[in-house]
Structure 1
Amino acid sequence: MSTRISVPDVRKFWDAQGGIYAGTVHPRDGMPAYPLVISLSDEAHIQPAEYCKPEATFPPGSHWDGRGNMRSLLEADPANPIATHIRALRIGGHADWYWPAKLECAVLYANVGDLVYAYLRAQHAQQWATWMCQRTRNVETAFIQDFRHGCQTYKPRVTKFTALVVRRID
């Protein structure tokens, strides 16, 4: 028997979970649905860095599973500046933050994109900072989500961008 949790309205701060409730993700790859929380706190601010070292090799990523993608990235590039920053985060009493995957970013844009855009604008003065990246299935590129206009694209994985942190409630 599973325990049912009470979630706040989308876009509201979820005190017990350390961030803003961004909605429930319904993966189409067999994973169970899960609530997604994003942190837009000062601690979550990540300096721009490249996705990973050019020589790092790892299997293609998932469009849904950002947590698994970050685990694979850290195995291939243990000193990755973005992933190690995220792994060290302790926000709202939680230490299971991760870098969202492509379709988790789509959920973020749809439900809290304006909040993310305002956060990124406050953290960074440059236009490119309104984008964030995560791994694609092609190991040579990183996924980019534009939180101003909603477009999604790919860039070489050595391009420097910032990232956002999320956690799923299992």
Structure 2
Amino acid sequence: MSEQQSIQPPAIGEVWPGQGGIYAGFMPARNGAEGYNLILGEELGRFEWGQYGDESPATSMIDGRANTLALTESGGEYPAATAAHKHEADGHADFYLPAAAELYEIWLNLNGKLSGWVWSSSQRSALTAFGMTFGGGLQTSYGKDNELRVRPVRRFLQ
């Protein structure tokens, strides 16, 4: 019986070959969910969050994958989540728009290596969703009709 080998991630902030982006650190376990490695994809451009004035099914502050699936499967128009969901890199098509907590974890791990405002997949209200600046770690709510940058992420479980 052979022992399963553990795959070692690169240093935080370095490209993880074959994984679709840079290694953005480990997302700790929360609310009974297992922890995972975060891979941060390239910036896709600026998009509206979408559906200004409507409550969305994206209610999690910690699970961007669940939020993104809820948004893309809802039948509504959510340009930021759709762009992240459609992103492919290094043969991986499981990217999503990160939740507010995931963005904060990325900022903690990559502090000083990124800049600019980005969308999270976490809705704040019918009119707003959470955005974050990588420059200073500030999270605030923005009108869903504003255009912010989209940086998709994916998970790597060992």
Q: Does residue 150 of the first structure (1) align with residue 137 of the second (2)?
A: yes
Q: How does 1:16-165 map to 2 (within 5 A)?
A: 16-40=18-42, 44-46=43-45, 48-54=46-52, 56-117=54-115, 130-140=116-126, 141-165=128-152
SS of 2:137's partner is coil
Change (3 A) 1:55 1:75: farther
Unaligned runs of 5+ in 2: none
User: Which residue identity does 1:17 align to in structure 2?
Assistant: Q
Change (3 A) 1:60 1:17: closer
User: Which residue identity does 2:121 align to in structure 1?
Assistant: R
Task: Report the RMSD for the aligned CA atoms in angstroms.
Answer: 2.2
User: Which residue identity does 2:21 align to in structure 1?
Assistant: G
Please give the TM-score of this superposition, normalised by the length of structure 1: 0.79
Unaligned runs of 5+ in 1: 118-129
SS of 1:136's partner is strand
User: Which residue identity does 2:156 align to in structure 1?
Assistant: I
SS of 1:111's partner is helix
Please give the TM-score of this superposition, normalised by the length of structure 2: 0.85
TM-fit CA distance, 1:76: 2.6
TM-fit CA distance, 1:144: 1.3
Structure 1 residue ranges (4+ consecutive) displaced by more than 6 angstroms after TM superposition: none
**Residue correspondences, number:** 154
Higher helix fraction: Structure 1 or Structure 2? 1
Identity over aligned pairs, percent: 30
TM-fit CA distance, 1:79: 4.1
Choose 27-36 or 156-165, whichever is displaced more: 156-165
